[in-house]
Amino acid sequence: MLRNPKLKSPSKALTVTQPQTMDEFLAQQQNQDLLRFITCGSVDDGKSTLIGRLLWESQQLFDDQLASLQADSKKHGTQGNDIDFALLVDGLAAEREQGITIDVAYRFFATAQRKFIVADTPGHEQYTRNMVTGASTADVALLLVDASQGLLTQTRRHAYLTSLMGIRQVVLAVNKMDLVDFDQPTYVNIEAAFAAFAQPLGFESITAIPLSALKGDNITERSARSPWYQGPTLMGYLETVNVVRPSHQRLVFPVQWVNRPHSNFRGFSGTVAEGIVRQGDEIKGDAVRANGKGR
């Protein structure tokens, strides 16, 4: 993106070459491909905070946004006087009051390597259908786990729905590593438990990364607090992952609303996420299972 002279420096320098002219900017944008991804996982695992951190680290925040984020953090934040990055994506009044995400929030950002659209989805069970909406257009899922809690029912549910929606690449983002003092065995146990659980789900790749979204560890630079970790940073992964889309055409139709005005009619409403369906086609199988209750 164009360099704004008023842009604040990120907390850690990102190795991006900023275009200096409009022509350079347009040329760079044209050559970049687009990666769409979601954050998902159980409630409070740090999904919104992670996206706020990614926007911050990729220099997407301008002075006025930063000023309102600082003011909002003091008023609604969960981090005392420090910045609460989740407020960048949790915009609804009810979300701020309750400190949870309800609606799907889409954000665009770009680095020198790639353009990204990220969908921040709610972890709360009640809003599972919004997670499915976000997943329906994503290439990659960042499945968050709170390192101090391990895998939860909602983590497994979101992993299952992710596979059902046709996503083939998953990042197991083991977040809040600061709460467990970057303990390697804790991380390894979570990674192994997820690998065993996800084996039947048929993901092509599962990349586990130990993170602290709050403190910024392993987001754009390898953290000195996890010297035992040799894999990619989260941004490094997102910038380089090859997108794998299912080769076969199948129908993915997340049902968002069952329209039943009277007992003689039952209609299923939603948006076709993948494949083609025509009037008169018979629908059966997995697509019918993709409902908002996550079954």
Ligand X SMILES: Nc1nc2c(ncn2[C@@H]2O[C@H](COP(=O)(O)OP(=O)(O)OP(=O)(O)O)[C@@H](O)[C@H]2O)c(=O)[nH]1
Residues in contact with Mg ion by CB under 5 A are 47-48, 101
When the beta carbons of 51 and 287 are compared against ligand X, the nearer one is 51
Please name the residue that has the structure tokens 């019918």. Answer: 288
Closest contact distance (angstroms) between CB of 37 and ligand X is 15
Residue selected from 16, 35, 48, 55 as contacting ligand X according to rule CB under 6 A:
48
Query: Which candidate, 180, 152, 182, 116, places its Cα nearest to that of 40?
Result: 152
The three-state secondary structure class of 155 is helix
Taking the CA atoms of the chain, what radius of gyration do you get in angstroms?
20
* Number of C-beta neighbours around residue 257 at 10 A: 11
Residues of this chain, 221-250, that bind ligand X according to CB under 6 A: none
Partner from ligand X, Mg ion, none binding residue 140, C-beta < 5-8 Å depending on class: none
- Residue 68 to residue 74: CA distance in whole angstroms: 10
* Number of C-beta neighbours around residue 287 at 10 A: 21
Partner from ligand X, Mg ion, none binding residue 162, C-beta < 5-8 Å depending on class: none
Residues of this chain, 160-179, that bind ligand X according to CB under 6 A: 175-176, 178-179
Closest contact distance (angstroms) between CB of 135 and ligand X is 14
Does the protein bind ligand X through residue 123 (CB under 6 A)?
Answer: yes
Does the protein bind ligand X through residue 214 (CB under 6 A)?
Answer: yes
* Number of C-beta neighbours around residue 218 at 10 A: 27
Q: What is the dihedral of CA 40, 37, 291, 92, to 10 degrees?
A: 60
Part of the chain binding ligand X (CB under 6 A), chosen from 164-172, 190-198, 206-214, 245-253: 206-214
Residue selected from 15, 20, 78, 205 as contacting ligand X according to rule CB under 6 A:
78
When the beta carbons of 112 and 117 are compared against ligand X, the nearer one is 117
When the beta carbons of 58 and 101 are compared against ligand X, the nearer one is 101
Closest contact distance (angstroms) between CB of 90 and Mg ion is 6
Please name the residue that has the structure tokens 């257009």. Answer: 137
Q: Strands 114-120 and 33-41, how do they pair?
A: parallel
- Residue 264 to residue 46: CA distance in whole angstroms: 44
Closest contact distance (angstroms) between CB of 53 and ligand X is 8
- Residue 22 to residue 145: CA distance in whole angstroms: 41
Tokens of 6: 């008023």
Part of the chain binding ligand X (CB under 6 A), chosen from 211-219, 226-234, 257-265, 269-277: 211-219
Tokens of 115: 């353009």
Q: How many residues bind ligand X (CB under 6 A)?
A: 23
When the beta carbons of 178 and 287 are compared against ligand X, the nearer one is 178
- Residue 217 to residue 237: CA distance in whole angstroms: 14
What angle, 0 to 180 degrees and rounded to 10, lies between the N-to-C axes of helices 153-164 and 184-198? Answer: 50
Does the protein bind ligand X through residue 252 (CB under 6 A)?
Answer: no
Closest contact distance (angstroms) between CB of 100 and Mg ion is 6
Does the protein bind ligand X through residue 86 (CB under 6 A)?
Answer: yes
By the criterion CB under 6 A, which residues form the site for ligand X?
43-49, 78-79, 84, 86, 100-101, 122-124, 175-176, 178-179, 212-214
